[in-house]
Structure 1
């Protein structure tokens, strides 16, 4: 059994952390693309295009090729959206984790280390819109080290940190396509508070919603 250590971030972890985050986010491209294809407007466009070209061309080849090209373009659109989000996240906080998390009050960033290699990350900081709550962020575990309890250990680390600083709850946001993450959080005792549509245009096109979860530490303590 590999030895897993959860520790605070160090500056020499920077590249491994950014790689872990980037790989983790890129994994959601296929599920997001399938989510887009399941939306009624997408299906209507594909069906109308196919039927119109089939009627006008009297051939199956042209409509099939056209629909295939539209789907390929849609997938590239999803890739572009995720790449943009990754770049924004790197510039926002992951390019300077020490300043963003370690030097700020009631904030921290941890890594999971296995045999000297960073295989997981998690962070937290005060949520500006929810008083008395720390927000869990940047949770990610490399695919090669999943099903080993690392994600649960990272979540518990944030919960303990939050409780020790006198906060009442941990909150977090995940997306509709991150079904494994939803199962993990619900297993850890988080409750789904609400679902809402991301305000950006791409989210409206994809019907891409975020889910807010909350872990009540006071109630969790009573259970203990």
Structure 2
């Protein structure tokens, strides 16, 4: 198991953080393709098209070429949509990480570092809707370093930050295809509170949804001894919280 430490973001991490995000999203593309193909209406449409072409052409070879053409067109369309997601997010909070996370009240961005390389990231910023809710964002771990407790350590880092900053809840979103992330959040005590359908037409017709999870910080259980080593190599953000518990109030969702 590789040794790692978690520390606040530095400007020198900029390119590595953005590249880790791009690589992580690209790695999910094949799974997204499988998700789309598994949709009943798509399987039915492909089967019906194959049958009609086969009946009309009476050629198995030609029918195979037609199916290959349709699948290729679908793959290109999905790839265009996928690249659009990457481009959009790179132009949002990841466009200026310092300004969005490190210079805003009650926000922070951390990287997991191993042997001088950035191998994981996570951000935290107050919700735009509920002032007492902290949003966990940009959770990414390099594929070669997964399964070593880095993602859990990053989650615990955000949880500790939420407690020190007097947030009552943590919220996050993860896609329907990110089953490993869903399992992690369940194990960490998050509960599924909503399913959000993306506004893009392709997302709607393929049921590509976002699952919203929430953690109640005020009901946090006692620390498990096995989690202590994950906290030993964490450097916390040192800024003073911008609000007090009374100023934040409570959020019941």
| TM tier, smaller | over 0.9
Task: Answer 1 or 2: higher relative contact order, Cα 8 Å, separation at least 6.
Answer: 2
TM-fit CA distance, 1:173: 0.3
Q: Give the 5 Å matches for 1:1-224.
A: 1-221=1-221
Cα deviation for residue 192 of structure 1 reads 0.7
Instruction: Provide the rounded CA distance (Å) in 2 between the counterparts of 1:127 and 1:202.
Output: 27
Deviation of the 1:196 alpha carbon: 2.3
Q: Structure 2 CA distance, aligned partners of 1:63 and 1:49?
A: 9
User: Following the alignment from structure 1 to structure 2, what is the Cα–Cα distance between the partners of residues 167 and 149?
Assistant: 24
State the alpha-carbon separation in 2 of the partners of residues 223 and 138 from structure 1. 25
* Contact 2:2–2:148 (8 Å) recurs in 1: no
TM-score norm. by structure 1 comes to 0.96
Q: By how many angstroms is 1:128 displaced?
A: 1.3
Residue 53 (structure 1) shift: 0.6
Q: Distance in 2 between matches of 1:108 and 1:84?
A: 26
Range 200-209 or range 145-154, more displaced: 200-209
What residue ranges of structure 1 are gaps of 5+ in the alignment? none
Give the CA RMSD over aligned residues. Answer: 1.4
**Do the aligned partners of residues 5 and 223 (structure 1) sit closer, same or farther apart at CA in structure 2, a change above 3 Å counting?**
closer
Alpha-carbon shift at residue 130 of structure 1 (Å): 3.1
Give aligned pairs, total: 224
Bigger Cα displacement from structure 2, 183-192 vs 69-78:
69-78
Give how far 1:35 is off: 0.8
Query: Normalised by the size of structure 2, how large is the TM-score?
Result: 0.85
Distance 1:193 1:36 in 2: 24
| Separation in structure 2 between the aligned mates of residue 146 and residue 43 of structure 1, nearest angstrom | 33
- For structure 2, the residue ranges without an aligned partner over 5 or more in a row are 225-253
More moved, 63-72 vs 151-160: 63-72
Structure with greater helix percent: 1
Residue 34 of structure 1 aligns to a residue whose secondary structure is helix
**Moved runs in structure 1, 4+ residues, more than 4 A?**
221-224
Q: Would you say the 8 A contact 2:102–2:109 is kept in 1?
A: yes
Say which SS state the counterpart of residue 93 (structure 2) adopts. Answer: helix
Distance in 2, matches of 1:181 and 1:78, equals 22
